[in-house]
Structure 1
């Protein structure tokens, strides 16, 4: 599983020792880990950077029994696939994480050659 995140969520994950995802905000009724790195990088580089100046991609594993019960949702192109985990089930998901939430990518809003 992969999850794109911004600066604030990254800080909360880091504070947990990279072991848990923080509770969802009231306006976030679902936690949406994505199925592939490409999609996670698109979200982190386009949306998280725009919203918070930095975007990260985390990779993590959970026990198969937890995610096998949920259908993978396609939300656009062929690689735009994700799970929809209700916010109230996030603690249960956190309890099934095997290992750490590894940060495997970071994106920022550095100016391009044409902007300097």
Structure 2
């Protein structure tokens, strides 16, 4: 399924989601909770940093920005959504499609920024 081209995406996470990513061997994101119908990786590191700092830190004491590569051909099946301006763009992956999204991750998920108590 993998093509030779990838697209870099980012995902802000809290400490519990980060622990589950680590348990996967840094290769997949955990299933969504019932109240979370969408998985939303974002298109810029800056946007991910804002979410990790402004949402994850107040909610859980720390926030992390993960960076990862996704097969570009797979990602072309999804639109980039505007979540409040050009600086706030993200992909909306339905929760039931997260397993196939995880399979399209190329390489490992990396932590590139840390905020709050874990910094």
Fold shared by both chains (TM-score > 0.5): yes
Residue 61 of structure 1: which of 58, 61, 69 is its match?
69
Q: 2:80 aligns with which of 44, 48, 72?
A: 72
Report the count of equivalent residues: 110
Measured against aligned partners, the alpha-carbon deviations of 1:91-116 in whole angstroms (never above 9, x if no partner) come to: 00111110001000000059xxxxxx
Deviations 1:44-101 (A, max 9, x none): 0000001110000000011111111111001112210000000000000111110001
Secondary structure of the corresponding residue to residue 39 of structure 1: helix
Instruction: List runs of 5+ in structure 2 lacking aligned partners.
Output: 1-8
Query: Partner of 1:40 in structure 2?
Result: 48
Aligned residue in 1 for 2:116: 108
The structure where strand makes up a greater share of residues is: 2
Larger radius of gyration: 1
Compute the TM-score of the two structures, normalised by the length of structure 1: 0.92
Consecutive unaligned residues in structure 1, runs of 5 or more: 111-116
The normalised TM-score by structure 2 is 0.89
Which contiguous aligned blocks of 4+ residues in structure 1 show a shift greater than 4 angstroms?
Answer: none
